[in-house]
Amino acid sequence: MDPLPIAVLISGRGTNLQSLINASLQGDFPARIAVVVSNKPGVEGLVRAARAGIRTAVFDHRTYESREAFDDAVRARIDASGARLVVLAGFMRRLSPAFVAHYRDRLINIHPSLLPAFPGLDVHRRVIESGARFSGCTVHFVRAELDAGPIILQAAVPVHPGDTEASLAARVLEMEHGALPQAVRWFAEGCIRVEGERVQVDGAAPPAGVLVNPFPAQANVS
What's the pLDDT tens digit per position in 196-220?
Answer: 999 999 876 666 656 555 444 433 3
Domain endpoint, select from 75, 103, 131: 103
Please write the tens of the pLDDT for every residue from 95-125.
999 999 999 999 999 999 999 999 999 999 9
Asked whether residue 161 falls in the same domain as residue 217, the answer is yes
Biggest CA pair distance of the chain? 51
Domain that holds residue 204: 109-222
The number of domains in the chain is 2
For residues 46 and 73, membership in a common domain is answered with: yes
Distance of CA 192 to the CA centre of its chain: 15
When the pLDDT of each residue in the chain is averaged and rounded to a whole number, the result is 93
Same domain, 78 and 160: no
- Domain boundary pick from 74, 103, 132: 103
User: Can you give the pLDDT at residue 208?
Assistant: 62
pLDDT at residue 76 tops 90: yes
Q: What is the pLDDT of residues 53-67, one digit of tens each?
A: 999 999 999 999 999
- Residues with Cβ within 8 Å of 44's Cβ and at least 6 positions away in sequence, in order, are 12, 13, 14
Whether residues 14 and 92 fall in one domain: yes
Q: Are residues 176 and 214 in the same domain?
A: yes
Single residue among 103, 130, 156 that ends a domain in this structure:
103
Q: Which amino acid is at 83?
A: A
| Mean pLDDT calculated for residue range 69-95 | 97
Sequence-distant (6+) residues with CB within 8 A of 54 are 21, 33, 35, 36
Indicate if 93 and 193 belong to the same structural domain.
no
Q: pLDDT by residue (tens digit) across 137-195?
A: 999 999 999 999 999 999 999 999 999 999 999 999 999 999 999 999 999 999 999 99
Residue 216 and residue 204 in contact, taking contact as beta carbons nearer than 8 Å? yes
**pLDDT greater at residue 44 or residue 216:** 44
pLDDT score of 221: 33
Cite the active site residues: 111
Residues 114 and 99 in one domain: no
pLDDT for the residue 82? 98
Residues 79 and 65 in one domain: yes
- Considering the domain architecture, whether residues 63 and 121 belong to the same structural domain is answered as no
Residues in CB range of 98: below 8 A, 6 or more apart: 68, 71
> Within this chain, do residues 136 and 194 fall inside the same structural domain, yes or no?
yes
191 with 215, same domain: the answer is yes
What's the whole-model pTM score? 0.92
DSSP state of 61: G
Q: Are 144 and 81 in a shared domain?
A: no
208 — phi, psi (to 5°)?
Answer: -55, 135
Kindly report the CATH number assigned to the domain that includes residue 37: 3.40.50.170
